[in-house]
Amino acid sequence: MKKSGFSLVSILIIIIIIAIVAAISYPIYIKSKEKIKETKCLSNLKEISNAMLAYTADNNNTYPTAAPSVYGTMEGDAFCGHSPMVEGIREKVQKQSIKTVLMPYVKNEETFICPADVDTSLTYEQGKRFTSYHYRYFIGARLTDGEQKEAWKQSTVPFPARLYAFNDFLPFHKGKRIPNSEVGVDFLWPWTPDSKFNFAFFDGHVAIFTAKDSISWRETRYDYHWPVVSEGNPWTSQTMLWDIK
């Protein structure tokens, strides 16, 4: 009488097939998971962009200012979402940051955090940033060199569809750094030209661009703090500047 059930060879074949299917499926799963994070990140920036425009409409067509902040200081950097919290500035930044300014216009705090960013804290935790998205200095930090600069208005931005207000703090979804040993200096920002960032523009639209197509190159690194093209002083609201051709 024949025995029923699977033979050892049959079981091994099934195991091999399962392993092959898993090996094929796993990279697809990882890629799909990352795509979901990227889409969520872009959606966050769109909501923040809409919040910026709503704030502007409620404030005499004036863009938000994360002030009083001093450019070039840890405090000024932190107001715009660039630097982590350090001792002595947490309470002040929590009260006056760009996130605090825009919170009445967004659904929840998680909008300010990219799901791929692990160095942020909704509670302004020391050593972490409060947002994944950077509000550009020359717009948000309006106190510099001891002088309070005029807040930016919609009428003073000549190319709102070509100038971005917010960007990913880092290329969270597709980014690669050039080793500091190759750059010659110790910088956080020496990304490769094909690294991709999410951007929110002054007209409200969002888009993804590579570093080489959207970020100013400054000797040894890409630096998104300043416009790619600037005919004049970026601290002056009446100036011709843009990032995207």
Which one has a higher pLDDT value, 111 or 230? 111
Q: 174-219, pLDDT tens digit by residue? A: 877 776 666 555 555 678 888 899 999 999 999 999 988 888 877 6
Residue 144, helix vs strand vs coil = strand
Q: How many domains does the chain have?
A: 1
pTM: 0.80
- pLDDT > 90? residue 236: no
Q: What is the mean pLDDT of residues 35-60?
A: 93
Bridge partners (DSSP) listed for residue 85: 126
Inside any domain, residue 19: no
Which contacts qualify for 204-211: CB closer than 8 Å, 24 or more apart? 204/49, 204/50, 204/52, 204/53, 205/49, 205/161, 206/42, 206/45, 206/46, 206/49, 208/42, 209/244, 211/171
Q: 139-162, pLDDT tens digit by residue? A: 876 655 556 667 788 887 888 999
pLDDT at 145: 54
For the chain, percent of residues with pLDDT exceeding 90: 26
Bridge partners (DSSP) listed for residue 207: 199
35 alpha-carbon distance from chain centroid: 16
> Residue 118 is part of which domain span?
38-242
pLDDT at 89: 80
Inside any domain, residue 141: yes
Inside any domain, residue 148: yes
Q: Which of 207, 199, 134, 210 lies closest to 176 in space, CA to CA?
A: 210
Inside any domain, residue 81: yes
Inside any domain, residue 183: yes
Q: How far apart are CA 140 and CA 9, in angstroms?
A: 68
Inside any domain, residue 109: yes
- pLDDT > 90? residue 165: yes
Q: How far apart are CA 152 and CA 211, in angstroms?
A: 25
pLDDT at 55: 94
